[in-house]
Every structure is written in structure tokens, then in C-alpha cells.
Chains A and B, each alone.
Chain A
């Protein structure tokens, strides 16, 4: 099979050296949003390939803790963020209205790798500022009492599901922002995905730690409408999952193994049958130190995975073959924390933690 991504290349690097960039999302095909551990969200308008590297144009303020997830509603109108500040916030994804302001893009200090004896923060370089429109959230969901690390939206845009470190999973009426249902789990909820049929939510739970008696990772399929457990897949896919995704056609359920705090050499993406939960295949060779994120390509034939080895891997769904790696392999200390694919499938955004920048790839001839 021909490699449709043979000509994939970096077209922009968007520097943002303030804090670890923790999440990225596309708004349409020509806007990208990124969030960091400080609680900031920036939005860039992407010019055609070959254009000048853009500065951010919008800054979304309101979160006071690390942002763990960013996603966009299927209609492309609303950006939704989940944070350690215990809130989910809605943002107008398209509006340019707001207050003029500035953002310093390099007021952080990236300390690469294991720095045993850092006793001072290095002096900061001269500030690099960008003029932005500062915007506030249009809605805030405050039902969680702990860090919200998992968030998923239904394919019809009617339901939102969020999960926190207290083990609470909450189903929301997405347009209304109203809580419909919640149920407790035993562990921290780390990743969620809603099936295209809209009635099932997959949830991965695990707590940092090596005491397996206390914190065995688990993976379940739940009934989105009742909160009842449908299938326990804990034995089918062992370990903690940092990412879960359903393919748009509903044929695949994918998990990315990456107990976030335990860097493992054999971290793999696993493809499951969504109806039975049975394992179909594991994609090998896996990332060297944990999967951080996964995303299905809109072509329905490929899945992308990001890892703690600074790579984005492109896999073929039909046979599990590794198509190619994007990026430069790094054994330790360099992560791609999050990825997103544009709705038209032509661009990939990757949050590169080691360089503190959002890397934009043209996948198929943008």
C-alpha cells in the first residue's frame, strides 16, 4: 500500500516557551489552539504552507491550573477545556471579539532532561511578545471537585463526558452545560471516549504508584445513559491508558498505553473490537517510554500516536503496519504531549514538550 504521508513535513513551529504545552486542538482546518500547564490557551491562525510563521492571535484566560484536555465540538463552534482547577470551560471557538492585550511567549524555563543540581532558574532571555485578543469563557462547568484529566464529546455534539481524580465521571448536556448523570469509579479517571453510536463511553482509570494492590489500572465500557458498566476490559488491555479513541466509522476502539507517571519501554497502541472489547491487534514496535495521545486520521485507514520518545508514529489500521515516524527519536526526557489532526486530514499539530513549541506538519500536500 502506498504511503500517503510520504511527503509529510514540518511547515510551522509555533514557539511558546512559558510552560509545558499540554494539549492541542484544531479549530476548523486553519486554526490551532494549544493549552499549557499554567492554564493559558493560545490560538493561532495558520497561513498556507510557505507563509510566515504566525504569532498567536487570541489568548483565552480563565483557568488557574494545568489544562489537561482541549477539544472542539463537531460543529466547530465551541472549544472546550478541562483543567486541574476543577472546571470545564467553554470558549467561543470562532469569535475574534475581546480585549486587546499581549502575551509573552518565552517567560518560562525549559530544563531539559534530568537536572540533578539545578539551584537557580537560568536568566530569562529578552521577552518575545505578541499582540493578542484576550477572551473569556462563555460557560463554566463546576461539578468536579478534583483535577479533570479526561474529557470527551459525542459525535452528535449533544453529550460531553468528563472524569476526575476523585473517580467521578459526569455526563453533561453539552449545549446546555447541565449535568445529567454521574457515577463513581475506584480510581482516577485518566481518559475517556464516546462511541459514535452515542450510548457507550470507554474509560481508563489508574492512579500513579507501584503498589498494585492499591491501584490496579482498569478499563471499562459504560452505558452513557445509565452509568452502568457494560464490559470490564481490564484483563484485555493491561496497564494504564493515557488515551482512548473511537474511529469515526465506529469500527475501531484504540487505546494508548502510557501510565503517565511510569515510563515503560513497551508502550503500545492496541486496537479493539468496539462491540466486544476483544483485542484485534497491538501495534508494534511501540513507543519507548509511553504513549501520550492517539488520533484517528479522517481517511479511516490510519491512526497516529504520540509518545514520550519525541515521536509521532503513523500506523495502518488494516494490518497494523508502522507507516512512518514523524520527528526525531529521543530515548528519554523529550515528549510529544498531545496531537491533533485537522478535520480535512491535511495537517497535524503536535505539542513538543522538549522545545516548548507546537509543531505543525503538512501531512498530505497542504
Chain B
């Protein structure tokens, strides 16, 4: 009896060993730790997991370990903790496009260029991305460091039913914007809600600085144009939006602007005729509005000879591969990056989340192709990219942004009178210049 069970046990052991062997071989695989933040709603975790599963089926020797890391800021903090402890776990991450300069400077990441150069169709791969998004992927010399993934851009949303009823045309420049906003403004309904209240006015402000003739930043990350004439005109314009007409303002919205998070619901519930907001909100706005929603390019600039004055920044996150990662894992991470930046994934990701698919090819295939046919509003965001500028990213980017946001908020909120706006911008510029002096 005992002998029999012993024999049985041996048999089982051998059998299980045989059964396990293939798994042992399969376990000799590369594991890629992928950190991603969320900035839009919806079951993002499941979507990412779906992509990982699909990718692993294509590359059986690679395992993707997706790690949700909170907001963009929390993601950066988590990665900074690992860097500080000199124990870097992350292999590839989605971080803000504007984190590029700091991470390049600290040599934390490796250039995507080194992988692209080895691709057979490297040039085509790069050319497939929209140029406006690539502007935040390159350094001064033109080396590509990161790859666009979840990118966005602000657009103009307008109540198309109301426009039709009142017989107004969609504004194409700042002058028309004010004209239309004033015509549609009533005590119950703001003519235009500009979400620049709170801590982050810099994003929308950039569209006006560029629209008035001088973008806040150009190719050189050591040079910031905050006290230019265009910048002053932009700040004055933003401030006057909420100022009553009796005080020389335009009086088309609340003083100091509206709050970012509340603006879409204010629009969909009919409390605003027009709003500036991200393309990321398009899905929610289309779903929640009871009227026809119109979408147009940001009329943030002075009219050119055609009467058009369009300008917008880009936003969102790119994919970064880390320098501390072993070379073979970097290779695997690159395959994952290539997969996430492929037309198929970009098309699906764009359709599900509202981010602007970053490749041209993504718009030619389903599900995005069908979506655009049903809801042409999605196409506007893509087409606006022709008028889009690089998003602000300088050396010491976080510190410089803080200086700019503080200066902008103090003027737009009315705490600093417009007569002192120029002096405030000059003071902020001096602070920025002293921060950036060592990088020139």
C-alpha cells in the first residue's frame, strides 16, 4: 500500500516536472515595467491591460507590467523617488511632453533616436507623426528623445443651435471672438468661458501669446519670451474678458476666468455660448450636451489677410525609455513603444479616450475612421494641428512654469491692476532669466 502510493507520488513528480519544463523556458523572458498616469476618466487600466495582452501575444518573450502611477505629478514623483534612491524600477513611462528638457539634461532617459535609426522604415515612422506633436519630442539639435502617445490640444467648443438661432458666424480671430461673445452674452449665459482661473493659466495663455505674434518658447529651451509685446497683449486680452465693459473690459464671462474642471458642465448645461477646453473633453461634451455641439480652431490671434488668426499649444504625454534600464530590456521597451505608437493602437486609443491620435495613419483606419464619419467634430482637433505650436518646455521647466503661472494669475484675477501688468511681466522675466543664465 505504502509502496504503491510512493510510486504514485514519484510518477506524479516526474509528470509535473515534465509539465513545468516548457513554462520554465517561457519564463526566460524580458519583463518591462511600464508606468502610466491617467488624466481622463473611464476604465483606462483595462484598456492598457488589453494592449499589453495583445502585445504579449505578438512577442511571447516579452512581458509588460503596466503600473498605474496616479497623476502626471505623482508619476514624476514616483520616478524621482526611484532616481533618488538610485534604484530605478521603471523601464518605460508616459510622462508629460514638457518633462523632456529636464530629463534630457539629467541624462535620465535614452533618446528614441537610437532605436529609430536602426529601424528599416525609421524615416516613415517619424513622418507618420504630426509635426506639432514632434516639436515636444526633440531637443535643440533635432534628436528625438520621446514618442507621442496621449496627446491633446485645446479647441473652441460652441453651441451650434444657439449660433444658428442668433445668426452668428463661427469666430476666426480675436476680434470676431469678442464680437460674437458679446452678442451672445446674457446675465444667465456667459458669452465665452475661458478656464484660466486657478493654478494653470499657462496652457491657454500660450495660444494667445503665439496668436499675437510671439510664442512663449521657441526651439531654444534656455530662452523664454514672457515680457514680449505679444505676451503683454495676450495677458491684457485674457484679463479684459471678465472685466465689465464699464471698466474698459469685454464683459463676456466671470472676472478672472472660469475653473477648468467646471467649464465643460457649464457649457453642456447651456450656461456658456462658447468655451475653450481640451480635445480630451470632446467625448464627454458630445455625450452630455442636449444641443448640437460645434467645434472650431482656437481663434486666439489677430486676423491675417484671410481674416484668420488661429493658434494653439499642444499638450499631453509622451513615451520615455530610461537610461538605467538594461540594454536588452530597453530593446523590448522600444518594441512596446513602437506598438503603442502604431496606427492601430493610436486609432483605438484616440477613439476611446478623446486624445488626438498622434499618427496620420491612425485616422485612415477604424475605429477612428468610422467615428470621424459619424462625428466630424473629432476631425477639427486633428486639422488644428497645422496651427499648433510647441508646448512650453524650458530648462528648469517646473520652476519657470510656477513663476509664469503666478504672474499670470495675479494679473488675470485682478489682484494686480492692468496698468502694472507690464512691470509684473518684466519682473517675472528677470526672475526667469536669472534661473536660465547658466544654460546659455
Decide whether A and B are members of one complex: no
Listed in ascending order, the chain A residues whose CB lies under 8 Å from chain B are: none
Listed in ascending order, the chain B residues whose CB lies under 8 Å from chain A are: none
